[in-house]
Structure 1
Amino acid sequence: MQKILGLAALVGGAILLYFGYTEYNSHASQLTEMVTGNPTDDAKYLLIGGAVAVIVGLGLLFKK
């Protein structure tokens, strides 16, 4: 059961990272970054959430 949850977290994290990357490279995010110096909050939240989910998923997969 633990390996299934780890795999689900890993896949979910990869999906969040993909959407975060596409949001980071969107025109709205680039315009916001040009004006404020920071990307949009959505891009940051998706990238951070994806990274955390991938780390948790890997931890659950390799935990004995």
Structure 2
Amino acid sequence: MNNKIIGLILIVAGVALALWGYNIYDAAASQVTRALSGDTPVKAWVGMVGGAICIVVGLSRMR
């Protein structure tokens, strides 16, 4: 039962983190930066990749 609670918390945190990363990626300042230099903010990558990792780990804990 304890692993399922931890898994659920990781999934919720992962979804929130991925959405936060996508919000940074889709922000107006980020779009201007990508248009001018082609660089994506590191915060966006950390949020999206970190969120995906949390989701995967959370799903593995749910089993």
TM-score (norm 2): 0.90
Aligned to 1:48: 49
Amino acid at match of 1:37: G
Aligned to 1:2: 3
Alpha-carbon distance between aligned partners in 1 of 2:44 and 2:26, rounded to the nearest angstrom: 9
Give CA-to-partner distance per residue, 1:6-43, whole Å, 9 cap, x none: 00000000000111111110012111211221211111
RMSD: 0.9
TM-score (norm 1): 0.89
Alpha-carbon distance between aligned partners in 2 of 1:38 and 1:57, rounded to the nearest angstrom: 30
Between 5-14 and 33-42, report the one with greater CA deviation.
33-42
Q: How many residues align?
A: 62
User: Which residues of 2 match residues 1-64 of structure 1 at below 5 A?
Assistant: 1-62=2-63
State the percentage of identical aligned residues: 35
